[in-house]
Chain A
Amino acid sequence: MKISTPPFTRRMLGVATASAIMLSLGGMTSALAATPKDTLVVAWAIDDIITMDPGESFEISAGEIMGNSYDRLMRYDVNDPSKLVADIAKSWSVSADGKTYSFELKPGLKFASGNPMSAEDVVFSLQRAVILDKTPAFILTQFGFTKDNVKDKIKQTGPLTLTMETDKSYAPTFVYNCLTANVAAIIDKKLVMSKETAGDMGYGWLKTNYAGSGPMKVREWRANEIVALERNDNYYGEKSKLVRVIYRHVKEAATQRLLLEKGDADIARNLSPQDLAALASNKDIKTTATPKGTVYYFSLNQKNPNLAKPEVREAFKWLVDYGAIGDTLIKNIGVIHQNFLPVGLLGASTVNPYKLDVDKAKALLAKAGLPNGFKVTMDMRTTQPVQGISEAFQQTAKRAGIDIEIIPGDGKQTLTKYRARTHDIYIGQWGADYWDPHTNADTFARNPNNADDAKSKPLAWRNSWDIPELTKKADAAVLERDASKRKAMYEDMQADFRKNSPFVMLFQQIEVAAMRSDVQGLKIGPTSDSTYMFKVSK
């Protein structure tokens, strides 16, 4: 049956369409996008932040917030990270026996709250970090501080002076470098203790609040949404040029790029190599880049009998197409680096002997009694560039007869497996915890106990790599007080590591930020806590 169209239907549809158009017209008001002149808007994936307490915080984005909003005794020079510069300390010295460190503070300092700062606050902050014993506390407790002794070891000696006594005579650079870390940030004792509940030293409150003295103060943190910083007018040094810095959580790189191009964000932090290449011709956008303290690697679990053979370990190092990976997958975001110390740290080696050489790998496999290769699995988290690199590696390894089955997973999932030592091959990354070579030596080249129930589980342990000799070398290097001798020791360890370790070191990360051309003074720091937004203007 043919039904004629009633005019009413058409009218109804017309009304519906018109109302939809009206709705979209409502949005036409903000055609021109620009951020306010005194406010910097940063598009960044900040969903890793879980706390605002410097005694607990250990995440990348939180590190930057802490670096901008809390002071510490000293910082390192972002232009030359091997140099230390004073922050709130006026002077410092170490005793002849190398165990007692003395500090004197600059006079007249104030917290953002208006409370005056004294040595009492510094002592409180360091003691608090040790007593709370959260994740980053090991940076301080490795000097022999415990909950029970820290009140005797870190002491106030005058209104502006304090001393700190370590258990051994460590390399002074090592101790000072550790004091630049976030965990040693100075907290407003009076403010925090006024919020204390049930003897928690203000831990419950500070998780989502702020009690510092840095150039910027934290106005608000809304998880997965926003972090707002504001200028701290009580800051002792040069005041921030910007009134406000707003970090907006934008997970998707393509979305970050759109915001930046449109001018709704001043800086975008997580762009992909493709995005960066596409933006290169845009005159309104510029970029800045810094090599970070993060290295990427494949590791071979020594519990797997095939992977435990020294020839197989070496063969894998010849089966990575470093050149192709460097030119494509990590272009602009990383440089090939085959050592466990990232460039920028004391003693870091730049020797990169390996390249793709399938024949050499085949010969090594034959020597190991595996001329036809073998089958093995690899756990990989599904993020770039990790995924692309893994797939490229799968291809080149196949040419030597090694059949790699890739097991994709979420980051936390693959990590859980890695930490339980049940993987075969794992592709991972490691960022320096503090700015001293010991941070990486401690995890790559130190494994004091390879038993399943070991107390400390560094990366060497996770791959079941038992290395008593190298462990001794790492322990000695941290006590060497002569900086040039110490440097030589790390170079020696890296040479040994390059040749024998079950780690195929791939590249060092370069962090790139893209920004609008009117943004001035942005420099990405080598560590997460040294990208200083208070030095930026626009």
Chain B
Amino acid sequence: MTDIEASAISALSVVDVIIPVYRGLTETRRCLESVLAFPQRTICEIMVVNDCSPEPALSAWLRELAETGAITLLENPVNAGFVNAVNRGMMQHPDRDVVLLNSDAEVHGDWLDRLRHHAESDPTIGTVTPFSNNATICSYPRFNQDNPLPEGWTLAALDRAFAEVNAGLAIEIPTAVGFCMYIRRDCLQKVGYFDALVFKRGYGEENEFCLRATEVGFKHLLCADVFVYHQGGVSFGAETSALCAEAERNILERYPHYLGMIGDHCTRDPARVLRRRVDGFRLIHSPRPRLLFITHIWGGGTEKHVQELARILEPDFEVMILRPTELHGVSVEWGRSGEEFIAYFNLPHAYLKLLDFIQSLSVVRLHFHHIIGMNRQVLQLPRDLSLPYDFTLHDYYPICPQYTLTLKDSRYCNEPDEAGCAACLAERPALWGLDIVTWRESLGKLLSDADRVIVASQDMEMRMRRYVPDARYIRLPHPEPVLTIAMPHAPPCGELKILILGRLTPVKGLHQLEACAIDARLRHLPLFFRVIGHPDRDIRQEPAIPLSFSGPYDDAELPRLIGRERPDVIFFPALWPETYSYTLSYAMATRLPIVAPRLGAFSERLADYPHACLLDWDTPAAECNDLFMNLLERASNFLAEVDDDA
């Protein structure tokens, strides 16, 4: 048989599109309407198997549609289960390829022609699965996630993007995903149908089928130029997770290597390249101006600010985030929520590639948030790209390589002269091996050349102006929603519970706090120190001293955690001039007494707070405890005042 004859026969052969239906009139209508809306070059018969739906409206609508001749309707007199319904459809025509399409899926364009093109590209191909928003290893934009459609993108636009960017591309996958699965007839003939005995109600049957097919030499493809929408969980709802777990057990009994095979595929994630191509297409076609943030990988307040700023900019801008990586490289990720795009550039070799990439993105502005851990080449980006830039200061890194203006003992250094700084650097050298003069010159110039240097507090601006007077500072406290924390009333119990918020490091007062707790133990004071957060190193805790830690927490959880602790006072033992302090915002929302150092942003932020008590930053632990004892005596008065205010 010649190729032309084979192609002609192939064009004439019919494909059955099998859609098992049980629940969900709206979803089923959308599914069938999308299938019927796009005529294909492939001749196909749309075969709907109504598995005795409990929704009369759905059954009635299907019968009406069948009467028009648009679909072939098979009706099960009793509910036979998803797998039996599918098998019934597949058995109708034993010479046809089939496509299994879930009734909560939607298709677009010549989806079937493209699927079939891949299926016929090689006789060893058993199944073909398209990309979808909700299809585990075939998910987009995030791998193995249940994604919504990307904001601003319809199914039609997204499918066109896949078809254009990934035209003709496919990769091998360990198993097909059943929401939309093309199965070649010769595969069905050699492997058999789905195992309805074990997987009667659905979930896992397609995986077990694929494993059987693999054993006899068939391959499974992810075709990268088709995107099919899949809502997921319509027929089984809350039962979905239980069915999945049962399916996994059943598969592992027969194929113990299954999870290892899937794990290997997920680790290598060969489809990533294909997803990234579509990400790039979407980025290029976004009408929003692009900004590039430059920050570190240390988390904390800087990361929180970067993420929050990216969120509030989402409606109007595309925010890309550049961070340092291992081995002196950088990564550039798409900062929009729900996106996965990330690219890695190994510096210095890939610096030109990085420049090309940023230029191709048409970035309009850079925004430095932090440069710690960064390859020095990154500082040249504004010049090499001829782009304006802003610089938000989250600490004192441009004037102090230790970034917190603290000495080796983690206490405020009182900002000595250059000789003092040189002595400090001799003990703890600066990044890139620079001396203090060169450091301040080079980073000071970066600040001076910035369009705006954004500081969150007046204290920080004053300190920075002493070193970099000619920078264009603007004062913008970090954006934060209005916080309200309901504090349950805690009657006095003869002990003062002192709450400390956040991850504690020595500069945040870890050792000061430990000293307070030791003093309280030695003097038998009725004080208890409780930290919502964790220490960055091992220190003594309860029962040795009256101090305990709750462990790491998520910011969204903090109001609830504070309320649960029912503290009497909130304490900030910081030993460096804080530039803003997010945790102070939470503390102020409680309206509880706050004890904080008279250093950094605390003074100005607490200036109008009615229950603030400011201490010298170097107040000894014993004196702090004396203050707490004083507060304990006045605790009932404070609580009464708070109640009155409320």
A binds B: no
